[in-house]
Amino acid sequence: MIIDMPDTNTRDVAKRLLRERDEGGAVALGRVLTLIIDTGGHDPEHAIEAANDASREHPCRVILITEGTGSAGLDAQIRLGGDAGASEVIILRPSREVEKHLDTLVMPLLLPDAPIVAWWPYEPPPVPSEHPLGRMAQRRITDTSRAAKPGPALRKLAASYVEGDTDLSWTRDTLWRGLIAATLDQPPYEPVRRAVVAGESTHTSVDMMAAWLAQALKCPVEVERIPDAPAIVQVKLERGSGDIVLDRPDGKTAALSQPDQPEHRIALPIRHLRECLAEELRRLDPDEVYGEVLTKGLAKVVS
């Protein structure tokens, strides 16, 4: 069900949601959080699709703010049922004047007594915690891999980090970190002398993987940037007894090679946006490891 509400206000949108629930039962109760998405001038449909998929694990109210159509006030759209996954989606298209007061704009639509998560799928704000939406959120999710200048955007986040911030470049590395940690937890228990991370030239998951290794292993870490590669393609750890190499050239299957052991083939596909978003919505407490890697480990990486 899609309900268009041109030239409206958020209080009327909230009333319409209540009416749909009372009259048709279209809006289910039991939402666990409010997810606020700011897509700026980008097409919102990709973010809505990811949020709908993630909502099947985390039923929520999705409030998406996108660029207005040029009218003087606010145009809105409500999506329910099959058009909203396990969530209820409210799309707001404010004018430039209304957009100056985003916190006031969304306040009537927030779920009572429920956590708030803010997500910027494209360009992150300079300081997420000081953004009008970031100030009201317990968690603030950015995605520097989709920024116009990914590397500088990630380093700006490092300079402005506060507890509750996270970036999906970190989440995309989860499976890699798990495999590498499991490998190093087996004999021989030797220190890593040097590490090399190879991957796509501008993909910030490459930077975050290198930063994690630098922070966790306390060894020199270098980045090899490969144009048009499928995200991370290889991690190599140099040890006295021989190198550990986790290689994923096709973005689907990885080969793990290490001294005196047969090569292991491991399914390691590039993670979809919905998977990364769902993972971040599982926790509302600060990700302390991410904070340390971003603020300390990133500065140790040699590009």
- What is the per-residue pLDDT across 259-302, written as a single tens digit (0 to 9) for each? 999 999 999 999 999 999 999 999 899 999 999 999 999 999 98
Q: Taking the domains of the chain in order of start, what are their residue ranges?
A: 2-167, 174-267
**What pLDDT does residue 22 have?**
75
Instruction: Say which residue, 289 or 85, is predicted with more confidence.
Output: 289
Q: Write down the pTM of the prediction.
A: 0.94
> What mean pLDDT do residues 133-141 have?
97
In angstroms, rounded to a whole number, what is the distance separating the alpha carbons of residues 52 and 273?
A: 11
If we measure between CA atoms, which residue out of 300, 270, 52 comes closest to residue 195? 300
Mean pLDDT within 10-20: 91
What would the pLDDT profile of 199-223 be if each residue is shown by its tens digit? 999 999 999 999 999 999 999 999 9
Percent of the chain scoring above 70 in pLDDT: 95
136-149: b (≥16 Cβ within 10 Å) or e: bbebbbbbbbbbee
Query: Which has the higher per-residue pLDDT, 230 or 27?
Result: 230
CA distances from 147 to 35, 72, 150 (A): 20, 29, 5
Arithmetic mean of pLDDT, 90-118: 92
25 pLDDT above the threshold of 80: no
Of 18, 132, 31, 29, give the one whose Cα is nearest residue 78: 18
**Is 137:249 a contact under the CB 8 Å cutoff?**
no
- 219-262 pLDDT per residue, tens: 999 999 999 999 999 999 999 999 999 999 999 999 999 999 99
pLDDT attached to residue 58: 87
Q: What is the dihedral of CA 275, 57, 53, 31, to 10 degrees?
A: -130
> Is the confidence at residue 23, as pLDDT, over 80?
no
